[in-house]
Structure formats: structure tokens, C-alpha cells
């Protein structure tokens, strides 16, 4: 009886070894499972590439903004040094002119 069960089990195993589900159950990669995994990896890779491209574009914008801020800081420093050279009376007149212009602009805006 033991022999019959052993022979039947071996026959069944040999019959199922060609079956893809048997290969899958045994942990052997099939062509379809490898293709599905490759397709999934390709899709993830495409998503990563698009994310990298988007971040690269944003980084370019940040670099340009940084360069502009650096230029503005240089202009502010230059203006500050020029203002420091002006006499106090000139600064008072300039402040009065700016105050008057601000008041006129505020009045025109209302």
C-alpha cells in the first residue's frame, strides 16, 4: 500500500511539474511572473524619472531666484553705502519727498 501511494504521489508530481501554477507554488519564476514584475518596475522607473524631471525644473527656478536675490542684496548694499554718504539735510528732504509721494499714492488708491 505504501508503494502505491508513493508511486501515485510521484506520478502526480511529475504530471504537475509542467504546470505553471505548480512552478509558481514551488517558488520558481515563470515567464509571465517575470514579465509582470518587469512591467511593474518599468512603471515605477517612469514615475521616478518624471519626478526627477519635475524636481530638476524646480531646482533650476530656485537657482535663478537665488541668483536674483544675490543681485538684489548687492544693490541694497550699494544703495546703503551711497545713502550713508549723503548729508543729513539731503536725507531729511528725501524723507519728506517720499512721505509726500506715499500720501499721494494712498489718496489716489482710495
> What per-residue confidence (pLDDT) applies to 66?
94
Cα→Cα distances 105→64, 78, 98, 99, Å: 32, 27, 10, 10
Predicted pLDDT of residue 21: 62
Per the CB < 8 A criterion, the answer to whether 17 and 10 are in contact is no
Q: Which residues of the chain have pLDDT under 50?
A: none
Say if pTM beats, i.e. exceeds, 0.85.
no
Grid cell, residue 8, equals 501515485
**pLDDT tens, position by position, 3-32:** 887 787 776 666 666 566 666 666 666 777
Angstrom CA distances, 102 to 1, 36, 80, 90, stand at 108, 68, 21, 18
DSSP 31-71: HHHHHHHHHHHHHHHHHHHHHHHHHHHHHHHHHHHHHHHHH
Sign of CA dihedral 12, 15, 18, 21: negative
pLDDT of residue 55: 92
DSSP letter (8 states) at residue 88: H
pLDDT at 53 (0 to 100): 92
When the pLDDT of each residue in the chain is averaged and rounded to a whole number, the result is 84
Amino acid at each position: 500500500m505504501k508503494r502505491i501511494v508513493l508511486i501515485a504521489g510521484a506520478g502526480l508530481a511529475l504530471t504537475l511539474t509542467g504546470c505553471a501554477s505548480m512552478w509558481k507554488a514551488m517558488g520558481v519564476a515563470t515567464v509571465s511572473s517575470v514579465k509582470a514584475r518587469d512591467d511593474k518596475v518599468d512603471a515605477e522607473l517612469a514615475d521616478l524619472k518624471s519626478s526627477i524631471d519635475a524636481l530638476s525644473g524646480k531646482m533650476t527656478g530656485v537657482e535663478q531666484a537665488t541668483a536674483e536675490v544675490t543681485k538684489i542684496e548687492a544693490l541694497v548694499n550699494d544703495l546703503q553705502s551711497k545713502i550713508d554718504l549723503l548729508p543729513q539735510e539731503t536725507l531729511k528732504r528725501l524723507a519728506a519727498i517720499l512721505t509726500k509721494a506715499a500720501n499721494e499714492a494712498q489718496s489716489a488708491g482710495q
